[in-house]
Structures are given as C-alpha cells and as structure tokens.
C-alpha cells in the first residue's frame, strides 16, 4: 500500500456491509470510474492538443471557481502511484477514458505516440495489478481543431471519431474488457449546445438536436469499425438516465414529464434499440428536428454487448419550468434529502429505471457505469468521515440488487468517482471522490467510503469463492 493511503478501517459507518445482500453473482464486476479531462491535468505535456474544455474553461464565468483541467489531479504525472492507490481501494475494475486530443491532437491526421504510450502504461499497470480495464472513447474532450470545423454539429466529426475509435481498437482492443463509444450524449448535446453551460457553450436547440443525432451516428460508425476488427472487448455506449416524473398530478405536469422523458430517455433508447426517434418528440421539435440520412438509423441501432447507465437522481418536472435543463435535468422540492449538487437522494429511482429499461426495450446486459454523490467533505487528521456517501452507495447498491432480483440483467457497478476531480462547470468545488484529493499538495486520502467499498468488494469476492 502506498504511503499516501491511510490504513485501517474507519471506526463507525452508517450501515455496514452486513446490511446489504451478499448474494451477487460471482462474476459481477465491481469498479471505480473517472474520466480523462477530470483527473489527468498535463493538458500541454507530451504533444496533447487543446480540447473544447480547455477553451471553455478559459472563458470568464464559465467555471464556478474559475478553474480548469490544466492541473486537475496530476494523474498523468502520478500514474504509477495512482495505480497503487487504485489497488489499495480494492478495485477489480476501472472505467477510464482516453483523451482524444492526447492521442490525436487535431482529431484527425497524425497520431501522437507519446499520448498512446501513456494509456499503454495505464493498461499495463492495470493488468499487472489484476484490475479489469473498461475504456470509454469519448468523455467530452473534443479536440478544439474539430470544434473549429463545426464540432459535433458537423457530420464529418462522426467520421473522424470512427477513425479514432478504430485506431484505439487496433491498439487496445485485446487488452480491455469493454469499450464504450460515448459517455452521456444527452449531456454533450443538451448541456453543451442548448443550455450552453458545458463546453462548447452553444445555446441553440436546433444545433443541439443535430449534435444529438451526429453523436449517435458517431457511435454507430465507431461500433461498425470496432466490430469489423472482431476483438474480444464487449462494445457498448453509456447514457445518463433517470425516471422522469411529474412534480404533481396535473395534466400539464404529466405532459411535460412525458416530453422530458422523450428527450432524455426515449430519444436515445428508441434510436439505439428501435432504430427510430420517438414520434412525439420529433413532432414537438418541428423545425429543430435533426437532419438524418438514409442508413443512419440502421447504423445507430446495431446490436450492443452492453448498455452503460449513469444514475444519480430522478428528474421531477413541472410545467412551470421554463428554459433548458440544468446539470441534472431536474428540479426538486426542498423537503427531499439532497447531495452537495442539490440532487435528490433517490435510490429507488435506480430500481425503477433498470426495470423500465428492461421492460420497454430489448436491451443487452446493463452496466451501472456511474453512481455516486458529492458532499462537502472535511479532511481531519488524514481522515474523511463521509457517512452520507457511504449511505448513498449502500442504498443504491441495494436498489440495484433489488432490480436484479426483479428481473433486470445488471452485470457491473462503477462508483463515481475514484477520486475527487474537476467537476466540469463546478470546477473543484464539488467532491465526488471515494478518495479525497488535497489539491494544494496533491496528496490523496482514502475517505471512509473508500474503506467501506474496498471491504464490500472483498466480501463479495470471498462470498463468490466460498459459493
Ligand atoms: C456525469 C459525468 C461525470 C461526472 C458526474 C458527476 O454526468 O459523466 O463526468 O461529472 O456526472
């Protein structure tokens, strides 16, 4: 165990491993998740090109604390000791993303071998420690050079993405357990191009919906290229989803919830698993509906090996809300327990969501690729007693287990996030980590939740061995 880790189980936690069912399938995957821009830093090292988040973060007011991912957790420079830390956290699987501008600075043309070498070292380090690698190809850091040519609003970006995906597959396809093409296309399209609160900061619904289509097309083209290689890695996509519920029983609130469900859930699920966009949403969009070409929907709906879901909270919608959605797409009433993001703690939503997906679409096995909570953690004598996060994880794991018992085929769970990091428009002001990062010193400290999760994973492993 590296010296940066605190050892010894925390004294008191809310709930304990014993409170949760110990009967997960032996091959259930337990992991931790991050993304490149949020932890790597080193945005100008070894030939990495600029990305849209570098540009966006430099705009005054775009990031709550005026920060950027330039330094982040210095994971790029600290890879080896961080991998020891990951092992100390008990992770059996690790979900990470490749920064496209690190391996192809302009998003097309020349590859940057120094960038590929970093991820090869990461994969070697994971293999050496017996940790499964789960790769995401795009977690929001589009090369700026492609944005300058129209970004995701341009169809050509989908082609460039497929070429990058094919290259990543050729190099790493045999070394990773799974490859997800995109992380949360809804966020990229809607928060990046309609609300404009995320990079690239555009506020135009018609562009946002074209982006939503081009992203799915990029997914389809990448999938086709990866399938053609025939490697062993399981192929899928990661969506952010939630049950969308009306804030009251009025007709207006119910209609609004139906539409929001269409935009967040059915738009992506219908395209991927039915090969068509939902008619009610297309009608609502009118002129803002995207331009599609013959063959697009067939590409988009090609079979997947897994579907990744990121779940944080439910979406409660009311007809009175105007404007584009906020970061969670949701509004909450004050009486609910919320996290430091203001997001309601609603574990039963994960149960509802998993069962609904299994019921309404012909889905492949489901992975919970992100689940977790931000709290205003306090470091005291090297410890962080994050009781609420422990409870949050336990309740959501419990809800997921219940969904499995009720028929959902869930194969993996990744806690978000392995360590505190750059939380997009919130900068470093929100801490989602199971590991605390002291940004001034770059020291890492396991929070109580990390000890709990480590023990939980170990207990699952032992139960599986004993069975
Ligand atoms: C998800 C993102 C992830 C992180 C969490 C809190 O939408 O995929 O990078 O920011 O939210």
For residue 14, pLDDT beyond 70: no
Over residues 275-291, mean pLDDT: 98
Quote the CA–CA distance of 197 and 257 in Å, as a whole number: 22
Quote the CA–CA distance of 455 and 394 in Å, as a whole number: 12
Question: Domains of the chain (ranges plus CATH)?
Answer: 11-466 (3.20.20.80)
pLDDT at position 18 is: 53
For residue 6, pLDDT beyond 50: no
129 Cα to the center of ligand 1, angstroms: 26
Residues ≥6 apart with Cβ < 8 Å to 368: 308, 309, 310, 311, 350, 400, 410, 412, 413, 414
The atom number, within ligand 1, closest to the CA of 327 reads: 7
- The best mutation among 39, 137, 184, 426 to test binding of ligand 1, ranked by most ligand atoms within 8 Å of the C-beta, falls on 184
pLDDT at position 199 is: 98
217 Cα to the center of ligand 1, angstroms: 22
| Residue having the nearest C-alpha atom to atom 9 of ligand 1 | 35
Residue whose C-alpha is closest to residue 421's, from 389, 378, 388, 374:
374
pLDDT at position 313 is: 96
Question: What's the CA angle centered on 69, arms 111 and 174, to 5 degrees?
Answer: 40
Quote the CA–CA distance of 105 and 235 in Å, as a whole number: 25
The atom number, within ligand 1, closest to the CA of 374 reads: 6
The atom number, within ligand 1, closest to the CA of 35 reads: 9
pLDDT at position 3 is: 29
The distance from CA 271 to its chain's CA centroid, rounded to whole angstroms, is 20
389 Cα to the center of ligand 1, angstroms: 16
Confirm if 435 and 89 have CB atoms less than 8 A apart.
yes
Mean pLDDT of all residues belonging to the chain: 94
314 Cα to the center of ligand 1, angstroms: 15
Instruction: Tell me the pLDDT band of 464, cut-offs 50, 70 and 90.
Output: confident
- The best mutation among 308, 309, 416, 432 to test binding of ligand 1, ranked by most ligand atoms within 8 Å of the C-beta, falls on 416
372 Cα to the center of ligand 1, angstroms: 9
Total number of residues shown for the chain: 467
pLDDT at position 21 is: 78
Instruction: With H, G, I as helix, E, B as strand and everything else as coil, classify residue 466.
Output: helix
Instruction: Tell me the pLDDT band of 240, cut-offs 50, 70 and 90.
Output: very high
For residue 126, pLDDT beyond 80: yes
Give the pairing of strands 435-438 and 443-446. antiparallel
Quote the CA–CA distance of 297 and 271 in Å, as a whole number: 7
Residue whose C-alpha is closest to residue 207's, from 154, 142, 144, 153:
153
Model pLDDT for residues 312-332, shown as the tens digit of each residue: 999 999 998 766 665 554 545
Model pLDDT for residues 335-388, shown as the tens digit of each residue: 689 999 999 999 999 999 999 999 999 999 999 999 999 999 999 999 999 999
Return the structure tokens found at 402. 């219940």
Instruction: Tell me the pLDDT band of 71, cut-offs 50, 70 and 90.
Output: very high
Placement of tokens 């939630």 in the chain: 242
Pocket, ligand 1, Cβ cutoff 6 A: 35, 38, 183-184, 187, 240, 310, 370, 416, 423-424, 432
Confirm if 118 and 76 have CB atoms less than 8 A apart.
yes
- The best mutation among 371, 424, 429, 432 to test binding of ligand 1, ranked by most ligand atoms within 8 Å of the C-beta, falls on 424
Kind and range of the H or E run holding 245: strand 244-246
Q: Of 42-56, 143-157, 289-303, 328-342, where does mean pLDDT reach its minimum?
A: 328-342
| Residue having the nearest C-alpha atom to atom 4 of ligand 1 | 423
209 Cα to the center of ligand 1, angstroms: 21
Query: Which residues are annotated as catalytic?
Result: 184, 370
pLDDT at position 19 is: 66
């Amino acid at each position: 165990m590296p010296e940066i880790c605190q050892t010894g189980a925390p004294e008191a936690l809310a709930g304990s491993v014993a409170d949760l069912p110990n009967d997960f399938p032996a091959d259930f995957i337990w992991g931790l998740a991050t993304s490149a821009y949020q932890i790597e830093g080193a945005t100008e090292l070894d030939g990495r090109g600029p990305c849209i988040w570098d540009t966006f973060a430099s705009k005054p007011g775009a990031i709550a604390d005026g920060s950027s991912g330039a330094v982040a957790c210095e994971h790029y420079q600290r890879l080896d000791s961080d991998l020891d830390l990951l092992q100390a956290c008990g992770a059996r699987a690790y979900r990470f993303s490749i920064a496209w501008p690190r391996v192809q600075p302009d998003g097309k043309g020349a590859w940057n071998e120094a960038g590929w070498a970093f991820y090869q070292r990461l994969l070697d380090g994971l293999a050496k420690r017996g940790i499964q690698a789960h790769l995401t190809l795009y977690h929001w850091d589009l090369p700026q050079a492609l944005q300058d040519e129209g970004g995701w609003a341009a169809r050509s970006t989908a082609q460039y993405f497929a070429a990058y995906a094919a290259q990543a597959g050729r190099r790493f396809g045999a070394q990773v357990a799974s490859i997800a093409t995109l992380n949360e296309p809804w966020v990229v399209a809607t928060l990046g191009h309609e609300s404009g609160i995320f990079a690239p900061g555009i506020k135009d619904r018609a562009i946002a919906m074209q982006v939503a289509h081009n992203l799915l097309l990029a997914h389809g083209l990448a999938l086709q290229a990866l399938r053609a290689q025939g490697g062993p890695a399981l192929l899928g996509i990661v969506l952010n989803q939630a049950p969308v519920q009306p804030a009251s029983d009025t007709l207006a609130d119910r209609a609004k919830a139906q539409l929001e469900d269409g935009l967040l859930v059915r738009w992506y699920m219908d395209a991927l698993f039915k090969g068509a966009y939902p008619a009610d949403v297309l009608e609502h969009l009118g002129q803002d509906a995207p331009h599609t070409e013959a063959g697009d929907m067939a590409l988009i709906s090609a079979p997947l090996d897994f579907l990744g879901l990121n779940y944080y909270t439910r979406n409660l919608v009311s007809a009175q809300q105007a404007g584009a959605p906020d970061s969670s797409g949701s509004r909450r009433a004050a009486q609910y327990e919320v996290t430091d993001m203001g997001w309601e703690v609603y574990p039963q939503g994960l149960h509802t969501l998993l069962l609904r997906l299994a019921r309404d679409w012909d889905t492949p096995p489901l992975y919970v690729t992100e689940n977790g909570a931000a709290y205003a953690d306090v470091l005291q004598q090297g410890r962080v007693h994050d009781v609420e996060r422990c409870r949050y994880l336990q309740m959501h794991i419990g809800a997921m287990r219940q969904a499995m018992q009720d028929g959902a085929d869930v194969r993996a769970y990744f806690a978000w996030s392995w360590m505190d990091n750059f939380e997009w428009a919130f900068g470093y002001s929100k801490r989602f980590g199971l590991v605390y990062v002291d940004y001034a010193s770059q020291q890492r400290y396991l929070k109580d939740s990390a000890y709990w999760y480590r023990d939980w994973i170990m207990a699952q492993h032992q139960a599986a061995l004993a069975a």
